[in-house]
Amino acid sequence: MTITASMIQLRTGIFLSSFFFLFQITFCFSSPPPDSLPSGTKDTILFEKQIHHYLKGHGAFYYLPFGGMNGSVFRNGYFNEVADVIFSPGISSRSIYEINWKQLSDDGLRIHYSQINYYLGSKKEQDFQIDHQQPVLKSLSAGLLFRTMNTSGYYANQAASQRNFRIYAEYHPPAAKFRLITGYLSNRTEAGENGGLKNESFFESASSGDVKFAEVNLTGAKSRHNNKGLFLQQKIFLRGTESIKSDSVIAEKPKLFLTHSSQAGIRKFRFIADKFYNEYFENAYYDTSATSDSLEWRYWNNEIGLFAEDLPWLNSALRANTTLYLKESNELFGYRQFDFDSSGWSHSISPGLMIRHEKFSADANYKISITDDSDVFHRIVLSGKKPVSEKVFLDFHLSYRTSLPPLIYSYYNSNHFIWRNNFGKVKQLHASAKGESALKNQHIAAALKIYSMEGYLYFNEFALPQQNNGRINIAETELHHLIRFGKFGLENSMAFRFAAPDRIIRLPKIAWYGSVFYANDFFNRNLRSKFGFDLRWADKYKADEFMPAIGQFYLQNENKIGAYLYADIFADFKIKSASFFFKIEHANAGLMKRNYFLIPAYPMPGRTIKLGIVWRFFD
């Protein structure tokens, strides 16, 4: 192949939702304890159905900003120490809104239920989802999930739509020796890409009615993301699962089983513009009248595992319940763009050990992978949890890996951007420790996270990929405290972050989230309710800009954002299996200086109202 497989990395991700479109992540409401509403949520009952949370990071250290009235501009900077794949295209900028196979329950599809989610917001924002699964025959169950989301947007050229569905079936014989799940999914997104505001100073000084008509850089551009795939998972028991107890440890009869999973699919990305926007783009290599760039990624991942649970000699030696396993996996990929077509494969072996004891639990695994170019990569992961007392827990995590850059860093050929690179391996070390205590009326947690990398990849000030030759270090401390005074509650979370060199890693050094709420039950505890407001703040920093033509963040040195307080007012209700919420997002819009940019040129929408319902029916 023309580009070596060493130019491709596992899924790192820069995940991005379309700026200023009103998509949301659909997280179903989980039933609270019978005596109260959830006490540990960081937003409202319908967690994550509201706007961004500065402390709700994903991946290494990045905050979770957003670029819509309630959507999320989602960025997972560089680090995914538990990823199971070697190759990645680096074009998963809509993944946060997609449905996938990991969302299926490990308990299978034998529960018969239906669930309806509906959310309504300003600017014709609608989000509808239905999820249904039921037994079809004695040993056969089936399910369907369908979701549609639409919005006209808050600023110019923000109209967006999304259609997702997943169909699946499970075969589970009565003897419980075999289980098979298979299905098909499809995700399609089309969103306007306005390139941000042309004049930020106009936005900051204009009246509230004028800002909605502020000029944008791209009036006729949009992106399309499509993802389709097949999935198959099997589990075959070679030994029974009866259990007995010994005097020392729980000595289960040895369980021996095989697992097999296979995924195949295709992901496509297109950027379309009705003309050459010469004030925004520097180059038009192929067409000065319009742009239609496309990229296609094809993949097949296959894994077979052999698991041995509770081997007598191992249980006795470690005085704990154990699971010893060995996995063998293969990956094939194809990457196509214009006249370029590349492919490759990898083969991996991964042994591991899981330990479960009444006083602690620990997991350890090692993975070695070799590609078709004879490049070798390693991954080591150690993690554990130890209860110090009934209500105090300690967690730790340590991992090291070498990995490939995503292919988009190595090769890209489009109307506005062309590059070809041969970047080296990325080396990543991650260590973290967390302690938390769940007391009667309060919850306290503290965490320390450290990241160290060599060969860090990023997009420079010209939106071109670049690799750092030195070492990058990031340290993050998170503190969380929730306390209840009767029916009132107060929650605070803070994050302190340090990165070196900060010329490459840009993030707020301090981020804070606070919530004050009142929770009570009415009508003989048939109506549960929660009322309150949320506040969010982060200090100023030079946030990365966004380039819609490639769907990536890149460095900028001109503008700082932050030091703005966001306030939301919410009311949540629950009646049996139905949950409702009402929320005023950015309730303080217009009351303070209009400098609520979440990345340069992309302001947050003004004051908006949200309504939502989640209703689950059981058979």
Read off the pLDDT of residues 224-281 as tens digits, 9 standing for 90 and up.
Answer: 999 999 999 999 988 865 343 444 444 456 789 999 999 999 999 999 999 999 999 9
Cα distance between residue 535 and residue 539, in whole Å:
14
Question: What per-residue confidence (pLDDT) applies to 603?
Answer: 81
282: exposed, middle or buried (C-beta count within 10 Å: 0-12, 13-18, 19+)? exposed
Cα distance between residue 607 and residue 605, in whole Å:
7
Asked if residue 155 lies in contact with residue 214, where contact means CB atoms within 8 angstroms, the answer is yes
| Nearest of 381, 431, 375 to residue 404 by alpha carbon | 375
- The answer on pLDDT for 66 being more than 90 is no
> What pLDDT band is residue 83 in, cutting at 50, 70 and 90?
low
Q: Where would I find the beta strands (DSSP E) of 80-139? A: 113-121, 125-137
610 or 366, greater pLDDT: 366
Question: What per-residue confidence (pLDDT) applies to 466?
Answer: 95
pTM to 2 decimals? Answer: 0.84
Cα distance between residue 572 and residue 556, in whole Å:
40
> pLDDT digit string (tens) for 331-340?
999 999 877 8
Cα distance between residue 160 and residue 16, in whole Å:
14
Question: What per-residue confidence (pLDDT) applies to 153?
Answer: 78
Asked if residue 529 lies in contact with residue 520, where contact means CB atoms within 8 angstroms, the answer is yes
438 or 167, greater pLDDT: 167
Question: What per-residue confidence (pLDDT) applies to 605?
Answer: 77
Cα distance between residue 537 and residue 511, in whole Å:
6
> What pLDDT band is residue 89 in, cutting at 50, 70 and 90?
confident
376: exposed, middle or buried (C-beta count within 10 Å: 0-12, 13-18, 19+)? exposed
Question: What per-residue confidence (pLDDT) applies to 497?
Answer: 86
Share of the chain above pLDDT 90, in %: 40
Q: Is 312 helix (H, G, I), strand (E, B) or coil?
A: helix
Contact partners, residue 237, CB within 8 Å, separation at least 6: 176, 177, 178, 255, 256, 257
Question: What per-residue confidence (pLDDT) applies to 292?
Answer: 93
217 or 90, greater pLDDT: 217
Domain ranges of the chain: 5-618
- Range of lowest pLDDT (27-31, 96-100, 160-164, 202-206): 27-31
Cα distance between residue 113 and residue 131, in whole Å:
8
Highest averaged pLDDT of the listed ranges 12-21, 96-105, 453-462: 453-462
Q: Superfamily for 5-618?
A: TonB-dependent receptor, beta-barrel domain (2.40.170.20)
The residue with tokens 């000029």 is: 215
| Nearest of 43, 13, 21, 127 to residue 602 by alpha carbon | 21
Q: For residue 561, which amino acid is it?
A: I
Question: What per-residue confidence (pLDDT) applies to 206?
Answer: 64
Mean pLDDT in residue range 385-390: 88
Residues constituting the chain: 619
- The answer on pLDDT for 73 being more than 80 is no
Q: What is the 3-state secondary structure (H, E, C) of 339-353?
A: CEEEEEEEEEEEEEE
- The answer on pLDDT for 203 being more than 70 is yes
How is residue 582 written in tokens? Answer: 């009402």
Cα distance between residue 577 and residue 615, in whole Å:
6
How is residue 587 written in tokens? Answer: 């309730």
Give the H/E segment covering residue 410.
helix 407-410
Mean pLDDT in residue range 314-340: 91
Asked if residue 521 lies in contact with residue 527, where contact means CB atoms within 8 angstroms, the answer is yes
Cα distance between residue 349 and residue 484, in whole Å:
49
Question: What per-residue confidence (pLDDT) applies to 415?
Answer: 95
Cα distance between residue 169 and residue 180, in whole Å:
8
77 or 92, greater pLDDT: 92
489: exposed, middle or buried (C-beta count within 10 Å: 0-12, 13-18, 19+)? buried
Mean pLDDT in residue range 360-389: 93
End-to-end Cα, the chain, rounded Å: 54
Mean pLDDT in residue range 610-615: 86
26 or 530, greater pLDDT: 530
- Range of lowest pLDDT (26-35, 241-250, 529-538): 26-35
Cα distance between residue 348 and residue 330, in whole Å:
6
Question: What per-residue confidence (pLDDT) applies to 72?
Answer: 34
Cα distance between residue 542 and residue 530, in whole Å:
37
Cα distance between residue 584 and residue 51, in whole Å:
10
Asked if residue 33 lies in contact with residue 490, where contact means CB atoms within 8 angstroms, the answer is no
DSSP character for 389?
Answer: S
Question: What per-residue confidence (pLDDT) applies to 482?
Answer: 92
> What pLDDT band is residue 196 in, cutting at 50, 70 and 90?
confident
Average pLDDT over all residues of the chain: 80
